[in-house]
Amino acid sequence: MSAANIVVGPAVEGFFHLMRRWRRRSLAQENRRWERTDPLAAGRSLEALKRDYRGYDIVATPLLFLLVPALVFVWVDVFQAIGAWAAPDPGPAGRVLRPSFWAWFLPALFAAIAAGGWLCFLLLRLMLGPRFGEYVFYSSKLAGFDVLKVFKAMSLAFAALVIFAVALFASTYTAFLDDRIVVKGVFAEPRSYAHGEVVAIRAVAGRPARDGKTSDARPGHFEMLFRDGSLWRSTDGLRDSLPRCDYPALALAAERARLRIAGPDILSADRSGASCP
């Protein structure tokens, strides 16, 4: 047996022995806590608790499903406002293109689930008063785990994801400023170009509907080629293709670069009807 095995073997075994002892102690503490606070220990049956709290479940579950969609739109507006604050100030004549609604939807959904859950817990606490703890333990027995503890952990995980996504998306933009164009990708450093470095601006036709299926249609988009060979698309930076919304920024860039926008007319083909962010 080598010297490494002599040293490492007992160390690993000791580590796992300590982990097993800690796990047994944690389980024992959890069981004692449930024995002290579980209303079933006071002689009440689970069926009796169901009769007492079923009405609150009937209220809380639909309320959560109503709160989450409403809160999604609230959080999207909040996150878009953060993105507008984080982007450069374009001035009265400039334009800034930022991520579209759907880029913010996923972090807004996570934030809405967490906020909606806590609002439901708050409402139940106000309705039940001192019986709220009993309701939580009843719900935990039905679920097979401590619902409040799990929801706290889930909320913390969601908060970390939301903060990361919002920080990432808020720093993603294309700014058409008075003297330059700044392109900041999702995982990229900002690149700054003078208007004279724009070589070409062109419109690219979209995809028409096939077999009468309008869902297959894709609107056109704009492209901008710079002198260093890099290509920018109006769909970059987590953006939908919205030619009507993007055209003023591209027209401004073309005017200052003394170019014309080449390619087909994609504005008249834009039937999206979406409002500009």
pTM summary value:
0.75
One domain, residues 162 and 183: no
CA-to-CA distance for 114 and 159, rounded, in angstroms?
Answer: 8
CA-to-CA distance for 39 and 254, rounded, in angstroms?
Answer: 72
CA-to-CA distance for 7 and 116, rounded, in angstroms?
Answer: 52
- pLDDT, position 271: 57
The reply to whether 270 falls in a domain is no
Domain boundary among 128, 148, 170: 170
Domain boundary among 145, 170, 195: 170
270 three-state secondary structure: coil
The reply to whether 271 falls in a domain is no
Outline where the chain has alpha helix (H). Answer: 3-37, 46-86, 101-128, 132-143, 147-170, 243-257
One domain, residues 142 and 162: yes
C-alpha separations of 61 from 72, 120, 135, 277 in Å: 17, 9, 14, 33
The reply to whether 235 falls in a domain is yes
Q: Give the range of the structural domain holding residue 210, as residue numbers without chain letter.
A: 177-262
- pLDDT, position 40: 54
DSSP structure class, residue 207: B
**CA nearest 60: which of 139, 145, 133, 137?**
139
- Indicate the residue type of 40: L
One domain, residues 58 and 154: yes
DSSP assignment of 19-38 equals HHHHHHHHHHHHHHHHHHH-
One domain, residues 149 and 218: no
One domain, residues 164 and 183: no
One domain, residues 183 and 164: no
Give average pLDDT by consecutive 10-residue segment, the chain, 277 residues: 44 53 50 53 68 83 92 96 90 88 94 95 89 83 84 95 95 92 92 95 80 61 94 91 88 93 79 60
CA-to-CA distance for 12 and 42, rounded, in angstroms?
Answer: 44
**Placement of tokens 């808020």 in the chain:** 170
One domain, residues 189 and 151: no
One domain, residues 226 and 131: no
At residue 100, φ and ψ (nearest 5 deg) are -80, 175
CA-to-CA distance for 117 and 150, rounded, in angstroms?
Answer: 12
218: domain CATH number?
A: 2.30.29
The reply to whether 4 falls in a domain is no
The reply to whether 110 falls in a domain is yes
Domain boundary among 125, 150, 170: 170
C-alpha separations of 139 from 18, 25, 135 in Å: 33, 25, 6
| Helix axes 147-170 and 101-128, enclosed angle (nearest 10) | 150
C-alpha separations of 192 from 87, 237, 244 in Å: 14, 15, 25
Domain count, the chain: 2
The reply to whether 277 falls in a domain is no
